[in-house]
Amino acid sequence: MDADEILMDCEERMEKAASVLADQLKGLRTGRANPGLVDSIRVDYYGSPTPLKQLASISVPEPQQILIRPFDASAIGEIAKAIQASDVGLSPNNDGKMIRLNVPPLSTERRKQLVSRVKEFAEEARVSIRNIRRDANKHADTAEKDKIMSEDERDTVKDEIQKLTKKYEGKVNDSADAKEKDVMDE
């Protein structure tokens, strides 16, 4: 691998780590209704686990309510079962045509638990980014040993890798801080 390939691979993988964190944070509950809470729920639809967002339109008509309208009315029972089985902690109100989820306000204790969960997710993302940095540095060392690049080029590549690491750790920290603030605000 030459310097450009190493840096491109490193940046792509770090971007993926940051986007995984963003997806995880989207699914965390705050005091307000958010379609992201139920997006990732998988429904057993004709024998195959299907994401809820492919089976129904999900909207938020009020700040404390999520409305799920299945495209196929026969799937409503399976959707309700999947919501109850998920770790969202909301009970579905099924009227035969659509499902309403009322999102109760969070207690202070629950908010603190969610903040600690946000911190866990952020730390996992930072560890992942550091592992990517380690791999990229290893590739740079190998390229230098194989005479693909000089020592100076290797050092430059390592500096660039460190800059990428700082950039993506910053993104992770910003995302986590924003979500913590969102969770703690009432």
Q: What global pTM score does this model have? A: 0.73
- Residue bearing tokens 């603190």: 112
Quote the DSSP letter at residue 105: P
CA–CA gap between residue 168 and residue 12 (Å, rounded)? 11
CATH superfamily label, 3-26+107-184: Ribosome-recycling factor (1.10.132.20)
What architecture (CATH level 2) is domain 36-102?
2-Layer Sandwich (3.30)
pLDDT in tens, the chain (186 residues): 888 999 999 999 999 999 999 988 887 777 778 888 887 789 988 889 988 888 999 999 888 889 999 998 888 889 988 988 887 778 888 888 899 988 888 788 888 888 999 999 999 999 999 999 999 999 999 999 999 999 999 999 999 999 999 999 999 999 999 999 888 875
Name every residue whose Cβ is closer than 8 Å to that of residue 122 and which is 6 or more positions away in sequence.
21, 172, 173, 175, 176
Q: Cβ distance 52 to 79 under 8 Å?
A: yes
Structural domain boundaries of the chain? 3-26+107-184, 36-102
- Give the Cβ contact number of residue 166 at 10 Å: 12
Please name which of 180, 173, 83 lies closest in space to residue 91, comparing C-alpha atoms.
Answer: 83
